[in-house]
Amino acid sequence: MIKKLLFILLPLILSAQINLPLSTKQLLVVNSPELNSTTASLQAYERRKGKWYKVFDAIKVNLGRNGLAWSSQNLIKDSNEELKYEGDGKAPAGLFTLSGFFGYDKQDFKFPYQRLSSSDICVDDSDSLYYNKLLQTQDFSRYKSYEKMKRDDILYELGIFVDYNTQGLKKRGSCIFIHIQRAESSPTSGCTSMQKEKLLKLMNWLEISKKPMLLQLPRTRFLLIAPRLGLK
């Protein structure tokens, strides 16, 4: 009887903790086969007249080298599932705002765009006051650990800022983006990556006025909450 009640109540509990604002008209949904999967499927949705509709074909994406781990800001995990930590090689699971784009060259999007330079870094030292912050600096020695945003490869030639751990909670993870993949089925350190042409297509479609968000979950969890959120 208790198990039956939990089966009925669990989707309600989970969907209550995934709150999609009515102002959000665009949604990227990433669902992976398992929590530890390194590849997943991304489906874009647009809300029209209160209903969600799929946009484009599903896109294959890469996750962290150790799969997904739950964000403490979006806690819908089971008791035995792990939270995300700095350096765990896992992409964050949960619901996140997409706040801006970045890249190496001049671009024209319906979104705030930052053209990266050699002075742009993202601080991943959890002891720093600037943890999980994007900064411009000429004195790199001031920061114990950081990631250069304008790289020697194409990974950040185009990318989307994911608002993960915006409070800068110590050791909870930093510098989370959607960016160009290194190679087919090549996992990341904790971001979500895909083919360049697929990413560019998404970025040309996304509009800041539609307040887009990223929902990233293992498939079993997505299937539980999808009906309550009106997603198919």
Residues 163-182 have a mean pLDDT of: 96
pLDDT of residue 151: 97
pLDDT of residue 114: 98
Asked if pLDDT for residue 65 goes beyond 60, the answer is: yes
pLDDT of residue 19: 81
Residue 77's φ and ψ, nearest 5 degrees, are -90, 160
pLDDT of residue 72: 78
pLDDT of residue 232: 85
* pLDDT band at residue 17 under the 50/70/90 scheme: low
| Exposure string over 87-108, b if 16+ CB within 10 A, otherwise e | ebbbbbbbbbbbebbbbbeebe
pLDDT of residue 12: 41
Q: 3-state DSSP call for residue 169?
A: coil
pLDDT of residue 69: 96
Q: Residue 39 in contact with residue 61, Cβ under 8 Å?
A: yes
Exposed, middle or buried by CB within 10 Å (0-12, 13-18, 19+), for 227? exposed
pLDDT of residue 61: 98
More confident residue, 80 or 229: 229
Asked if pLDDT for residue 7 goes beyond 70, the answer is: no
Separation between Cα atoms, residue 154 and residue 76, nearest integer Å = 34
pLDDT of residue 75: 59
DSSP codes, 48-114:
ETTEEEEEEEEEEEE-BTTBEEE-TTS----TTSPBP-TTS--EEEEEEEEEEEEESS----BS-EE
Question: With the C-alpha atoms ordered 195, 201, 204, 208, is the resulting torsion angle positive or negative?
Answer: negative
**Token pair belonging to 149:** 């945003």
How far, in whole angstroms, is CA 117 from its chain's centroid? Answer: 23
* pLDDT band at residue 8 under the 50/70/90 scheme: very low
pLDDT of residue 5: 37
Separation between Cα atoms, residue 124 and residue 196, nearest integer Å = 25
pTM of the model: 0.91
Q: Residue 54 in contact with residue 29, Cβ under 8 Å?
A: no
Residues 17-23 have a mean pLDDT of: 86
Asked if pLDDT for residue 147 goes beyond 70, the answer is: yes
Asked if pLDDT for residue 53 goes beyond 60, the answer is: yes
Asked if pLDDT for residue 3 goes beyond 50, the answer is: no
pLDDT digit string (tens) for 75-109? 566 767 889 999 999 999 999 999 999 999 999 99
DSSP codes, 111-137:
S-EEE--TTEEEE--TTSTTTT-EEE-
Residues 177-189 have a mean pLDDT of: 97
